[in-house]
């Protein structure tokens, strides 16, 4: 896996955070984040765990390309939601499976 496959920078950017801001959140320096994003061999799993926690994702999300962007957004929204909102989200998904909405098809 090369650094193009690392999701840390992409997720950090989606959150609107600089390397320095993420570094401050986890109590490390900017160089640590830069090395982690480049999969520098000296980066420990603990650094990735701290980054994942600070970004509200799992460590799996930092390295996985299996999820589509929409799925990651839904998972993140669910994880950040209050319990009553989580229940509502689950009910909405179940309802959508029973009665799918009709949406216009995109030309793309």
Sketch out the chain's domains with CATH numbers: 3-63 (1.10.260.40), 69-98 (no CATH)
pLDDT of 97: 72
Contact yes or no for 11/55 (Cβ under 8 A): yes
Contact yes or no for 33/19 (Cβ under 8 A): yes
Q: Three-state SS for 30?
A: helix
103: pLDDT strictly greater than 50: no
Q: How confident is the model at residue 99 (pLDDT cuts 50, 70, 90)?
A: low
Is the pTM for the entire model greater than 0.75? no
What is the Cα gyration radius of the chain? 17
């Amino acid at each position: 896996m090369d650094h193009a496959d690392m999701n840390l920078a992409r997720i950090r950017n989606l959150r609107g955070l600089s390397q320095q801001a993420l570094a401050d959140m986890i109590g490390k320096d900017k160089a640590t984040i830069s090395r982690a994003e480049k999969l520098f061999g000296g980066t420990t799993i603990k650094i990735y765990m701290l980054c994942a926690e600070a970004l509200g994702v799992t460590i799996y999300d930092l390295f996985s390309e299996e999820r589509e962007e929409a799925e990651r957004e839904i998972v993140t929204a669910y994880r950040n939601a209050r319990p009553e909102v989580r229940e509502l989200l689950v009910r909405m998904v179940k309802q959508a499976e029973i009665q799918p909405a009709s949406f216009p098809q995109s030309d793309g």
